[in-house]
Structure 1
Amino acid sequence: MGTTPLTPGLAPSPGSDGTGVVEMYAGDRASQALGIVVEDFGEDWARCSMTVGPDMANGHGITHGGYLFLFADTTFAMACNTEGSVTVASGGDITFLRPSHVGDALTAEGRAVATTGRSGVYDITVRRGDEVIAVYRGRSRTLPARPAPPAAG
């Protein structure tokens, strides 16, 4: 692994208290195991990075699409959980534009394109350097706040 949950010294950009990202990533063992790092985030947006490892290649010697989906989906999750409320995916799809390979350093940046009530739509762009390799669109739903447990009595 060798990564920290967030880039060392990272503080949320203005407009975000960051509690949702910090708390969610702390429990996200799948993303941590793949070496996904949250590079930066602010209100309704996030940027993550990941290096493609040898165990992420498919039978054609390119990055398995499932790993690219997971990477984009993690970035989506961070972007829609910047404010502390619990927001989950209600759907997502990805378009693969170019292949990536073992050793490639990837970045993904996602931001809200529309939010209304408890629903949101986010676009995530996955890049290798300046080259766009995949585009993901995620649909989110913010869960209602859970009531406080009854007082022991």
Structure 2
Amino acid sequence: MNALELAQACAAAMWGEDLASQNLGMVLEHARPGQAVMRMEITSAMVNGHGTAHGGYIFTLADSAFAFACNTVDQRSVGQQASITYLAPAFCGDVLTASATERTRQTRSGLYDVTVTNQNGALIAEFRGHSRTVKGRLLGN
């Protein structure tokens, strides 16, 4: 199995168990080695008292993309630390896309950047996540 096939198999295995992302209406657009892209529409249930998307939902979308990007080599990885900077508001009906990219992966630690944009390509948020590998494999080998 080549690296792309491995990344896609890991993503499929994770997606099958990721009820949080599924129940929020997220869609995994694709997974490649060290990368993942996820999409989610902002619903009325995700809007705060200011009439904008609650930051927690934007964070969750970015965090899910991060999770799929850091689990593309069949070694279970979890988030160790993450931060987000909100740059523009999102609104009900907006379709947000989170694009995660691995910056470095050394021994048990990884560093990932996630860019969140809306359907017009406007930058909504920037997220940085630190991963840590743990015991276990996604594909059970």
Q: Which residue of 2 aligns with 1:55?
A: 45
- Runs of 4 or more above 4 Å deviation: none
In structure 1, C-alpha distance between the alignment counterparts of 2:21 and 2:87, rounded to whole Å:
23
Q: CA deviation at 1:16?
A: 4.2
In structure 2, C-alpha distance between the alignment counterparts of 1:49 and 1:59, rounded to whole Å:
23
**Normalising to structure 1: TM-score of the pair?**
0.83
Q: Which residue of 1 aligns with 2:4?
A: 15
In structure 2, C-alpha distance between the alignment counterparts of 1:145 and 1:66, rounded to whole Å:
29
Q: In structure 2, what residue type is equivalent to 1:77?
A: A
In structure 1, C-alpha distance between the alignment counterparts of 2:127 and 2:24, rounded to whole Å:
19
Q: Which residue of 2 aligns with 1:42?
A: 32
Residue among 107, 111, 119 paired with 1:121: 111
Residue among 125, 134, 138 paired with 1:143: 134
Q: Could you report, residue by residue, the CA deviation over 1:79-120 in whole angstroms, capped at 9, with x for unpaired residues?
A: 011122111000100000000000001111001111110100
Q: CA deviation at 1:15?
A: 3.0
- 1:22 is paired with a residue whose SS is helix
Q: Which residue of 2 aligns with 1:151?
A: none
Contact 1:21 1:84 in 2 (8 A): no
In structure 1, C-alpha distance between the alignment counterparts of 2:57 and 2:135, rounded to whole Å:
30
Q: Which residue of 1 aligns with 2:123?
A: 132
Over the residues paired in the alignment, what is the CA RMSD in angstroms? 1.5
Q: Which protein has the bigger helix share?
A: 2
Q: In structure 2, what residue type is equivalent to 1:134?
A: A
- 2:93 is paired with a residue whose SS is coil
Structure number with bigger Rg: 1
In structure 2, C-alpha distance between the alignment counterparts of 1:99 and 1:84, rounded to whole Å:
35
Unaligned 5+ segments in structure 1 are 1-12, 147-153
Q: Percent identity over the alignment?
A: 40
**Normalising to structure 2: TM-score of the pair?**
0.90
How many residues align? The count is: 134
Unaligned 5+ segments in structure 2 are none
Residue among 87, 92, 110 paired with 2:77: 87
Q: Could you report, residue by residue, the CA deviation over 1:45-89 in whole angstroms, capped at 9, with x for unpaired residues?
A: 001111001100000010000000000000000101112211100
Q: Could you report, residue by residue, the CA deviation over 1:10-32 in whole angstroms, capped at 9, with x for unpaired residues?
A: xxx96341222111111111110
